[in-house]
Structure 1
């Protein structure tokens, strides 16, 4: 009884299974009905020829099997080879051997099983996923994707390669000391001048290769962590990198640094200072006697335009519409009033009344999109739509350095989210403290328990407790977006250093300005 009937599999002992001498089951039928004298010939006849793609897949499978063996993924198999109902990790060695053997015709070769994480890691991963889902839920449904990185408010965690001038500038960004697209870009370029002045090229490399990737990148990353880069800042960074790459490696380091500093000064002079003068001169001619100019928030180029027209002897008045939390229009209204202009200051809630008295609308810009839409401080779209409803001309003053090839259809996909606690000022929080008795007990219970655990007794309510009440409220979320998008049909004219043009000409001017 040395032979077996056809279709039966030989049951080898368990010792051979543990030692790895077990052959794949796909060859058991071949061995069952063939004489022992020709096992090698039979196997050669039945093995199909493999294509190049199948050989490549086999090599990949063998490589994965070797990696799994190197990691120590090889638990003992004490059961018979026919029992394959366990998890994939237990069948790892057997599938690794099957991957090394050629597959039969019409039968797929089993792939090596991926190593699953250990049982101790699974609860940690599930807990992390739950925390991410919970955090996304608290951030809101539509704007949750904008909370990618918390804003940096200190120098903690900054790279050692960040220059002190950049550290100070980043803190000014996050605290709104330096605010406005143009001001942020100019201050960034001036900080980069300080970085370049103190830079020394390491031995064995060149300034063109090392300065951009190893020295400027940490500065840019830190500024981005303090506050997202504006469109004009991104354009200026790309321009500066292009200038650095074009430096001849044979140029001495001192000469190359002087050339870079000179290029930055020329960029600020031509693209900002001279451009603002041309725009202010062109826009001031649009102001006539008796006009009432409506503007929103604060724009440096709008302020220059109004002051130029006033110094030219044109008699007109200004209405400044403003909104929280930055109240940028307060400074603009104060400066204009100090120069002798008649100024009326209103909040955004009175914009519908302000447009009734206005004759023209002058707006600044954070960026002009390629589809002609205006990307500016949140509330600009509301003012533009109200002005269009009252047939008022809406004029946008914008330098070409703020033009971009991007397209914006709404304010949700791309925007900047500021900390929500900035929505309520210190005085507003104090005014909300008397409302505590009317709040649900579940909202104020956590804050009271925390105060008792820290101080031993219930402490006196402070303005910071108002934020705790809002955070602990499950049905209340605070959201503060900084920009909105104004459709091109609500804009009559865009004035740049290249002249007055319609919003549809923005892509042409952008190509013209980038090819200079």
Structure 2
């Protein structure tokens, strides 16, 4: 298969910044998960690299910084494949660096450094932090008293929306659907339960049972593709299709920086493979009589590597076709997912004009 499990990266490169090495370790061990958290952590780390970089005596900062950042970007890519939204952030950052080179009159090294760091901070504030606040406000318009909201896994923006809904005094219930091997939904369940929200927990295999009383499905996204399809954690497509089958509206919360100029109709063209050993531990905690009975034989796949005709496929993302998505909540309002290419084009033109004006 053309998808490969990430290999241990080479840390011998002396040009790698210590903050990048640390971030790569967090990414590879899934200590930082979620597209927003990964993007913010990456951008803040690059800001630290930019702040600490001192170019050679025979080179200017503006012309040397991209060359200095490239091996750090390559290292992060080697530790764990970047999400589509992270690639968009890097594309934006490289454009900012090229704009500094073309600036007239030329900027001093300190001016270039300060400008890049400030633009990174502005991007995090405008496109992520403030965008999330606006999405929460728009999302509140679609949640009413008596609603039963189903969500899948853990999304930071969906969590913020549900907590804000509780603060507003709206009476509603939440059903959290989760799946192996990460069980991200458990973290969301804990946060919502602590806030006093009535929650129920299901596994993905019970999705049709979970949907019996649901009035709306609300999920996050890792990216919104050019054809209106949603690229998100594996299992999202199954939830959306099951909800559509029951004629339950599916609402996706997604910041516009995650809109990408890419078309994908299946989950195999591009994806990320997780560690196959994460799927191996199938040992049950209790037997059918709810009594603890652990035995080594319950690891049904313990010797799977010895089976030459067996390969475990632990894909991390899937693609949900646009026909299963009712609407997308963004910081620019409630839109159909088919409007993604228009929003992407408008934002790129706007930011291009801003850069030219500066």
Query: Structure 1 residue 146 and structure 2 residue 3: aligned?
Result: yes
Name the residue aligned to 1:223. 76
Aligned length: 340
Query: 2-side partners of 1:428 and 1:224: how far apart?
Result: 35
Name the residue aligned to 2:297. 434
Contact preservation (8 Å) 2:282, 2:298: no
Contact preservation (8 Å) 1:325, 1:424: no
Q: Which segments of structure 1 move beyond 4 Å, counting only runs of 4 or more?
A: 426-432
Residue number among 468, 492, 498 corresponding to 2:332 in the alignment: 498
Name the residue aligned to 1:175. 29
Contact preservation (8 Å) 2:10, 2:75: no
Query: Structure 1 residue 233 and structure 2 residue 233: aligned?
Result: no
Deviation at 1:427, TM superposition (A): 5.5
Name the residue aligned to 2:318. 484
Q: Which moved more, 1:312-321 or 1:423-432?
A: 423-432
Q: Which has the larger radius of gyration?
A: 1
Root mean square deviation of aligned Cα: 1.8
Residues 439-458 of structure 1 aligned to structure 2 (within 5 Å): none
Name the residue aligned to 2:97. 244
In the superposition, relative to structure 1, how do residues 496 and 431 fare at CA in structure 2: closer, same or farther (>3 Å)? same
Deviation at 1:426, TM superposition (A): 8.5
In the superposition, relative to structure 1, how do residues 150 and 432 fare at CA in structure 2: closer, same or farther (>3 Å)? farther
Contact preservation (8 Å) 1:384, 1:491: yes
Which structure's residues are more often strand, by fraction?
A: 2
Residue number among 110, 120, 145 corresponding to 1:254 in the alignment: 110
Residues 43-192 of structure 1 aligned to structure 2 (within 5 Å): 144-147=1-4, 150-152=6-8, 156-192=10-46
Greater RCO (CA < 8 Å, at least 6 residues apart): 2
Query: Structure 1 residue 193 and structure 2 residue 47: aligned?
Result: yes
What is the TM-score normalised by the length of structure 2?
A: 0.91
Residues 300-449 of structure 1 aligned to structure 2 (within 5 Å): 300-425=156-281, 431=294, 433-434=296-297
Query: 2-side partners of 1:355 and 1:167: how far apart?
Result: 43
In the superposition, relative to structure 1, how do residues 369 and 271 fare at CA in structure 2: closer, same or farther (>3 Å)? same
Contact preservation (8 Å) 2:178, 2:184: yes
What is the TM-score normalised by the length of structure 1?
A: 0.64
In the superposition, relative to structure 1, how do residues 431 and 376 fare at CA in structure 2: closer, same or farther (>3 Å)? farther
Deviation at 1:425, TM superposition (A): 3.7
1:177 aligned counterpart, secondary structure: coil
**Which runs of no fewer than 5 residues in structure 1 stay unpaired?**
1-143, 440-465
Contact preservation (8 Å) 2:151, 2:176: yes
Listed one character per residue, the Cα deviations across residues 235-254 of structure 1 (whole Å, up to 9, x for unaligned) are 11111111111213732212
Query: 2-side partners of 1:413 and 1:432: how far apart?
Result: 39
Query: 2-side partners of 1:161 and 1:276: how far apart?
Result: 35
1:330 aligned counterpart, secondary structure: helix
Residue number among 263, 267, 276 corresponding to 2:132 in the alignment: 276
Contact preservation (8 Å) 2:175, 2:200: yes
In the superposition, relative to structure 1, how do residues 347 and 515 fare at CA in structure 2: closer, same or farther (>3 Å)? same
Listed one character per residue, the Cα deviations across residues 300-328 of structure 1 (whole Å, up to 9, x for unaligned) are 00011111111001000100000011100
Query: 2-side partners of 1:351 and 1:419: how far apart?
Result: 25
Query: 2-side partners of 1:323 and 1:339: how far apart?
Result: 23
